Amino acid sequence: MNFKDKLVLITGSSRGIGKATALEFLEQGAIVAINGRSKGSVNETIEALNFGDSLVSAPGDVSTVKGCESVVSTAISGLGGLDILVNAAGILYATSIQESSEEIWDQTLNINLKGTFFCSQAALPYLKESGGNIINVASDAGLIGEKDLAVYCASKGGVVNMTRAMALELAPEIRVNCICPGYVDTDMIRRDFIDGSDDPESAENEILNYAPLKRMAKPQEIAKAILYLASDDAVNITGSALQIDGGATAGH
């Protein structure tokens, strides 16, 4: 997969899957715009990745339409165009239905679903010009229900079906696909599901035994799948939801 001089914007790339994806693109020769909520987090990521002029700063909050437009505009100013948009910004609250407040609902849907849609909308003129493509980061929770994740499931289920609708509308000029990871060994999963639990060891064992393959994915494994979908090797793939979940959605 050759991404030499390809222009890439990755939302939510100051951490987790987004950051791992940025590194993979950079190693394949791409020029990447890094996004996070704050300039500080973006600058720290750019310094850590250490790819010099191949990195562009595009901080901003993608939970609002204006924020999405600003992030895309800033990225375009630095990149000079756009070939690939990766919508990786996301938030997760593990709460029961009874404990799910309006604030949790709004934050989750605004970042995970609204942000994905309106960043894509803002990027369309540039992607049409380049014949580019979009990869949305969904989740296995967008394909199946999971206990205490009703709000998150709603947001990621929306991303999966929105991806299909966008693929139909934007073909043949722009391909649109999504990936559906299961548990990935990121700081968010460690903080919210393992270290923050009453019994971290038990919580980690539960996660490891969740899927048939009995492991968490590494962020770089998800990143490599994103690069595949963005590459010319996937030129005949659009509207797909690629499961990378250790078999969690295969059935029981």
Backbone angles phi, psi at 119, to 5 degrees: -65, -40
Distance of CA 40 to the CA centre of its chain: 20
Closest CA relative to residue 147, chosen from 99, 197, 91:
99
For CA atoms 98, 99, 101, 106, the dihedral sign is: negative
Please, are residues 89 and 113 in contact by the beta-carbon 8 Å criterion?
no
Q: What is the pLDDT of residue 246?
A: 96
Report the alpha-carbon distance of residue 158 to residue 187 in Å, rounded: 24
Each of the 252 residues of the chain gets a pLDDT tens digit; together they read 789 999 999 999 999 999 999 999 999 999 999 999 999 999 999 999 999 999 999 999 999 999 999 999 999 999 999 999 999 999 999 999 999 999 999 999 999 999 999 999 999 999 999 999 999 999 999 999 999 999 999 999 999 999 999 999 999 999 999 999 999 999 888 888 888 888 989 999 999 999 999 999 999 999 999 999 999 999 999 999 999 999 999 987
User: Which residue pairs from 37-41 have beta carbons closer than 8 angstroms and sit at least 24 positions apart in sequence?
Assistant: 37/61, 41/14, 41/15
Backbone angles phi, psi at 10, to 5 degrees: -125, 110
Query: What is the C-alpha R_g of the chain?
Result: 17
78: its two tokens: 């630095």
Please, are residues 139 and 243 in contact by the beta-carbon 8 Å criterion?
no
Domains of the chain (ranges; CATH) run: 7-182+218-244 (3.40.50.720), 185-216 (no CATH)
How large is the angle between the packed helices 219-230 and 16-27, nearest 10 degrees?
A: 60
Active site residue 152: yes
Global pTM reads: 0.96
Report the alpha-carbon distance of residue 161 to residue 40 in Å, rounded: 34
Residue of 126, 152, 183, 210 marked active site: 152
